[in-house]
Chains A and B, each alone.
Chain A
């Protein structure tokens, strides 16, 4: 069981917008602005898409945006494209007993 809760799957049509949620607790998502999002295509290493809740690394399209409210962080992808189909993982710094980093269970995005 993952420390952060994500929906198992989401889907959308090309051009649409989708949002993936990531729910934690006050010891991780809710307590710190240190949430990241990763995109992973099959057989590939993950790619950082968002860090510190809403910052985009250089080279990541501005179609990807992040936000947070309370214990839930969200990744929004606007103008969906076929190449966005992938698994997405959130992660957060945690001050719980693990004291480090925790990941969500991952969300499979299907572009219809």
Chain B
């Protein structure tokens, strides 16, 4: 079946970096983009950015520009999201999602989420 499986929970210190993986299966990886969305504890959803699995083009949320990098490895159908210079307010569940639709802005398949905790 179509699914996205993410890497496990992470605990990081302020200033460190984290890299979350998202392995796709059950569909042609390069036919869809991947977006990353995060959700702080008890809060709403926040779009972080999008990457084309076809050509690697990216579009990042302005507030994360310079701290986030999204990449893909088409040989393993895996997407990655790296966030640097972590702060306490980066503590959140991070989701990858398959991007579909005309603008690839509708997210029809989601990973299970990866909890990232930033604490000294």
Interface residues of A (CB under 8 A from B): 2, 32, 34, 36, 38, 40, 45-48, 51-52, 57, 89, 91-93, 97-106
Cβ contacts under 8 Å, A92 to chain B: 105
Residues B93-120 near A (CB distance < 8 A):
95, 97, 100-103, 105-108, 110-113
The smallest beta-carbon distance between B86 and chain A, in angstroms, is: 21
A89 touches B44 (CB 8 A): yes
Q: How far is the CA of A104 from the CA of B47 in the complex (A)?
A: 11
- A46-B45, A100-B50 known; A93 and B113 CB under 8 Å? no
Leading 7 A-B pairs by shortest Cβ distance: A51-B106, A45-B110, A101-B47, A106-B44, A103-B45, A36-B106, A48-B108
A51 touches B110 (CB 8 A): no
Name the interface size band of chain B: 20 to 34
Chain A residue at smallest Cβ distance from B108: A48
Cβ-based interface call for B88 (8 A): no
Cβ contacts under 8 Å, A97 to chain B: 62
A-B contact count (CB 8 A): 72
Cβ-based interface call for B52 (8 A): no
**Known contacts A52-B102, A100-B47, A101-B35, then 14 further A-B pairs from the complex at CB < 8 Å, ordered by chain A residue:** A34-B106, A45-B95, A46-B107, A47-B110, A51-B100, A51-B101, A52-B106, A93-B103, A98-B62, A98-B63, A102-B47, A103-B44, A103-B47, A104-B44
Cβ contacts under 8 Å, B112 to chain A: 45
Majority secondary structure, B binding face: strand
Between A45, A97, A105, the greatest number of chain B beta carbons within 10 A of the residue's beta carbon is seen for A45
Q: How far is the CA of A40 from the CA of B44 in the complex (A)?
A: 10
As a 0/1 sequence over residues 26 to 62 of chain B, the CB contacts with chain A under 8 angstroms (1 = contact) are 0000000001010000001111011000000001111
- Give the residue of B101, B107, B110 whose beta carbon is less than 8 angstroms from that of A34: B101
Chain A residue at smallest Cβ distance from B62: A98
Cβ contacts under 8 Å, A101 to chain B: 35, 47, 50, 105
Cβ contacts under 8 Å, B97 to chain A: 46
